[in-house]
Amino acid sequence: MSLTQLEYLAIAPHRFISLIRKSLNNGHKKMIPISTRLLNLDSPSGLPPPRLTTLRLLPGGRFLLTGSQHSYTVDIWDLGCTPSALIPAFAIASVAVSSFLPEDERRSQFLVQPLEDGSGFYVLVVSAEWSWEREEMDLQFTVLAVEPLSLPPRFEIIAQLTTTNGEFPRIFLTTRVVGWAGYTSVNLWDFHRDSHSRFALDRTTTQIVCTSDCVWFVGYGVQQAVIYPARQLDAAAGGTIPIESSLQTYDLGEMPQGPVYILPPGGFDSSYLDLLTLRPPTTIYHYLLPPPTSLPNVGESKPALLRKFTFGDPGLTNYSTDVRVSSTSWDGEKALVVWYKQTKGIYAALPKLKENETEAELESVQLWRDPEHYQRKTLFDWSPLLGRLVLMTPEYEIRVMDFVPPLS
């Protein structure tokens, strides 16, 4: 990598925020990417290309994972680090999986955690299908090891599991364990040793978020969260320690009663928990998570509410929208937020962070417009480190949009 490329990567996050701030200050309603590239979905054999249905940017934003239930494959693409990089004509590595189900009966997703030595990532391919006959969810897990920078790139299946004991999408991945929650219990599978265990929760868990240190269980419409240190869950999957000793309950009393949506963490080492209230006025609550070493053994405590900000009422719900908050861009005044609203598009904003103060209408700039005739939700992922959006249109076209220009 050249010195110019390293300099570009070092300042790209700040330049991305500066471009958004400049557009907002100038009253611009739309921000045009300086580069839009398309993935070549033609197959080497000349057969009709598979229709991609799932995507996920690996941390850093250079490599993209895609999945297709039609070809039963997961591919990894090298998008490059700069807007001028040429995307190879074909995926740099592929692996066949058996966990994709027919489109009308299947939901799938990718979960990612870093390998222990930092050379790559674990990727969990999740599929779920509801059995009306048994009235329960069938889950299929495929754990992949990915090292995109090795020669040749490593991309292989290391473990697979099919189970009926769980609910989608209450699933998490650590460096050793796949976990999934039922209504009042959590199942653990150590995919390295193929061992299983289960522990009970005394409340219904509807959402789970996992960082490198902790796994958080948050109820839908409640003001409490339950936390387990990830290392304790990893050990408990082998049955080596009692899991109950790790339980810690947190009071989120600042939040109003009502349904909440937990936002994806900004990174593996994120120290923040962001919760989105779904009842108007839509508000994001930004909490600081305590380090696992400072967790008390029993009782209740309260994480620090750093800031909160209000969207107003743009009609955001967990069914029609996809909200992302960058944990790398929080400062004393503003935060970087990107969200998608169906039939409207993808927007970015830098809301003010002032406690007990709300804005009547959040000023935003549009990064992508959803054509009005689209009836399907546009899937997207982003990299605030590169100022990059990758989206899958309802017409199954993959677009790579970069907003930070090369250094002159």
Confidence of residue 43 (pLDDT cuts 50, 70, 90): low
Q: Per mean pLDDT, which of 47-56, 140-149, 184-193, 300-309 is the most reliable?
A: 140-149
For residue range 164-221, list pLDDT tens digits in order: 766 666 788 989 999 888 777 888 999 999 998 888 776 666 678 787 677 877 765 5
Task: Please check whether residue 319 is in contact with residue 343, taking contact to mean a CB–CB distance below 8 angstroms.
Answer: no
Q: How many residues comprise the chain? A: 408
Higher pLDDT pick, 4 / 168? 4
| Secondary structure of residue 203 in the 3-state scheme | coil
260-272 mean pLDDT: 70
For residue range 58-109, list pLDDT tens digits in order: 989 999 999 876 677 899 999 999 998 999 988 999 998 876 544 443 455 7
pLDDT of residue 107: 53
* pLDDT higher than threshold 50 for residue 349: yes
* pLDDT higher than threshold 60 for residue 356: no
Backbone phi, psi, residue 378, to 5°: -80, 120
Which residues 6+ apart lie within 8 Å of 256 measured at CB?
A: 277, 279
pLDDT of residue 78: 96
* pLDDT higher than threshold 70 for residue 20: yes
CA gap 119, 155 in Å, rounded: 12
Which residue(s) pair with 341 in the sheet? 321, 345
In whole angstroms, what separates CA 374 from the centre of its chain? 24
CA gap 351, 273 in Å, rounded: 17
Confidence of residue 292 (pLDDT cuts 50, 70, 90): low
| Secondary structure of residue 361 in the 3-state scheme | coil
**Which class for 297: exposed (0-12), middle (13-18), buried (19 or more C-beta within 10 A)?**
exposed
Higher pLDDT pick, 406 / 370? 406
Query: Which single residue is written with the structure tokens 């990758």?
Result: 390
How high is the mean pLDDT of the chain?
78
For residue range 298-345, list pLDDT tens digits in order: 444 566 776 777 765 455 555 556 777 775 555 555 678 888 877 788
DSSP assignment, residue 154? E
341-368 mean pLDDT: 73
Say what percent of the chain tops pLDDT 90. 25
114-139 mean pLDDT: 84
pLDDT of residue 148: 94
Query: Which single residue is written with the structure tokens 């009422």?
Result: 313
Strand order in the sheet with 300-301: 207-210, 214-218, 224-229, 248-251, 300-301
pTM: 0.86
Tell me the two tokens of residue 145: 């090891």
**Which class for 72: exposed (0-12), middle (13-18), buried (19 or more C-beta within 10 A)?**
middle
CA gap 203, 185 in Å, rounded: 9
